[in-house]
Amino acid sequence: MADEQKKQIPLRLSPKLYSAIAAWAEDEFRSVNGQIEFLLTECVKRRKRNNTDDEA
């Protein structure tokens, strides 16, 4: 996976949402892009966990 390049996508955010993510990113010493990637990754992990729990 380290050899794979990251997929670039255009993303439109409202100014209010961008400001909230930017402030959160600053609190956690991440870039805005890094914060968005972190949040999406966590969301996908939780969804996978929840789907696994539902199937059991």
Q: What is the pLDDT of residues 7-42, one digit of tens each?
A: 999 999 999 999 999 999 999 999 999 999 999 999
Contact yes or no for 36/42 (Cβ under 8 A): no
Angle at 20 between CA 18 and CA 24, to 5 degrees: 115
Q: What is the extent of the structural domain holding 49?
A: 15-55
Residue labelled with tokens 């990754």:
41
Q: Is residue 22 part of a domain?
A: yes
Give me the pLDDT at residue 21, please.
98
Q: Is residue 8 part of a domain?
A: no
CA 4, CA 14: separation in Å to the nearest integer? 30
Residue labelled with tokens 């380290």:
2
CA 54, CA 33: separation in Å to the nearest integer? 32
How many domains does the chain divide into?
1
Give me the pLDDT at residue 4, please.
83
* pTM of this prediction exceeds 0.85: no
Say yes or no to pLDDT of 55 above 70.
no
Q: Is residue 7 part of a domain?
A: no
Average pLDDT for residues 45-50, to the nearest whole number? 92
Give me the pLDDT at residue 31, please.
97
